[in-house]
Amino acid sequence: MGYRPEPGSAQPLAGDRRGRVLWLGLYPLYALYKGELLPAHDRNSLLGTAQWQLLQRQGSGSLLDPHSGTSATFAGWLHYDRILLLGGAVAIPFGFFVRRLRPVALALAIGWLALLRGGYLPFMHVLTLLPWSALLVIGVLERAAGNWRLAGRRFPLAGWRAGRAGAAVRALVIGTVVVALGVTLASWTPALRQMTSVTAEPPLRSAERWVADNIPRNKVLVVHDAIWTDLVQKYGYQPRPIIVYKLDTDPAVRASLHRIDYLVLPNWYYGTPDGVSKYPTVMEARKHAVAVASFGSGDDGVTVYRVSALWRPR
């Protein structure tokens, strides 16, 4: 007798799907309730933001342009892990020759092509490259070492394991892997040691604590989004701090903005290649400000600027 599902056994699955649809439907319904579903000149909207994200957002440029935002972002990725990232790129053409690795190679190739198209490139895009890179590098090495199952064959080719050519190839692959592991461990060890042993407080957290101890609650702050919640809910700043990327993109924020008292942002905001076009008000405010506190160093450091009371945003 064949297997017959119990009556109603498919209902939980269908119910789960209906539940997901209902949960997703709450988002546009909430936007409609707040009057933020359709585009309007005086506020952000759900559909207007989607249109901006997909069609109007300023591109980061191509990786082939050394002065583009994409090139700067890519350099930041390499600072954290160049071995796995570049190793995955090198493995792409080899992956297309192995049937079971082709989907992985295709996914990784599409991810890399996003760096060349000239559109907007978020820093988090690297999180889509690293897992595919790890799978592809290991898969290509296994295939080179004689794992014929990756090629779709149930059994290895005759004489591969015992033949001299097979033994030579396996020895070459093993030697390459040993050298690669040595280089990788030497490269990763300092970063891993810092991540697992150094307990220094992050610059943004230090800046947040300094702001709470030294800046009155009624001042207008422009801040990084990572500390916004604490400044509002834990420390009670009123008016609420302004998240930096909303300063020049949210009409409602612009309409109510009469002054800026402090800037609390990582240093990289002022050095990004397209900073003048993305954060014009912040750049102008910094020209009329003085540094009152600094935490950390380099691009990830945070400087607190006090903006002159005589300057007003346009």
Per-residue pLDDT tens for 253-264?
A: 888 899 999 999
The H-or-E segment that residue 79 falls in is helix 69-95
How far apart are the C-alpha atoms of 106 and 98, rounded to whole Å?
12
Tell whether the model's pLDDT for residue 281 goes beyond 90: yes
Answer whether 237's CB lies under 8 Å from 269's CB. Answer: no
Residue 198's pLDDT band (cuts 50, 70, 90): low
**Given CA atoms 163, 166, 169, 174 in this order, what sign does their dihedral have?**
negative
Residue 14's pLDDT band (cuts 50, 70, 90): low
Q: What is the pLDDT of residues 47-76, one digit of tens each?
A: 888 887 777 777 888 888 888 888 988 988
| CA 259 from centre of chain | 31
- The per-residue pLDDT of the chain, averaged, comes to 84
Provide mean pLDDT across the span 137-145: 83
Answer whether 308's CB lies under 8 Å from 285's CB. Answer: no
DSSP string, 88-146: HHHHHHHHTTSGGGHHHHHHHHHHHHTTTS-S---GGGHHHHHHHHHHHHHHHHHHHTT
How far apart are the C-alpha atoms of 61 and 69, rounded to whole Å?
6
Please tell me which residue, 150 or 305, carries the higher pLDDT value. 305
Q: 239: cis peptide before it, omega within 30°?
A: yes
Spans of all domains in the chain: 11-56, 69-197, 203-307
Provide mean pLDDT across the span 284-288: 94
